[in-house]
């Protein structure tokens, strides 16, 4: 995986994110909407998210509130997680 996200419990997801001060915009592949909701709606799993994109690693902390999630046309799941 060239781009992956690792949740606090060690769950690895194929995808990437874009961050600002208060929100993470996540783009995840190869999971269903239901699986994405279950994972990202759990504050214990999202309170620490590690992103690895093309060798660059960044850790995000304190994003515990799933504010939106949707399934895109190409099967990708997009979600927004906010700081609570």
Q: pTM score, two decimals?
A: 0.93
**Overall domain count for the chain:** 1
Q: Which of 34, 35, 49 is nearest to 81 (CA)?
A: 49
Beta bridge partners of 30: none
The string of pLDDT tens digits covering residues 39-84 is 999 999 999 999 999 899 999 999 999 999 999 988 899 999 999 8
Confidence of residue 14 (pLDDT cuts 50, 70, 90): very high
Domain interval for residue 48: 3-83
Alpha-carbon span 67 to 14, nearest angstrom: 20
């Amino acid at each position: 995986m060239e781009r992956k996200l690792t949740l606090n419990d060690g769950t690895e997801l194929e995808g990437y994110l874009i961050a600002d001060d208060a929100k993470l915009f996540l783009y995840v592949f190869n999971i269903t909407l239901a699986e994405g909701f279950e994972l990202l709606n759990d504050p214990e799993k999202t309170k620490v998210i590690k992103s690895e994109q093309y060798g660059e690693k960044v850790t995000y902390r304190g994003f515990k509130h799933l504010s939106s999630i949707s399934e895109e046309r190409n099967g990708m799941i997009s979600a927004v997680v906010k700081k609570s």
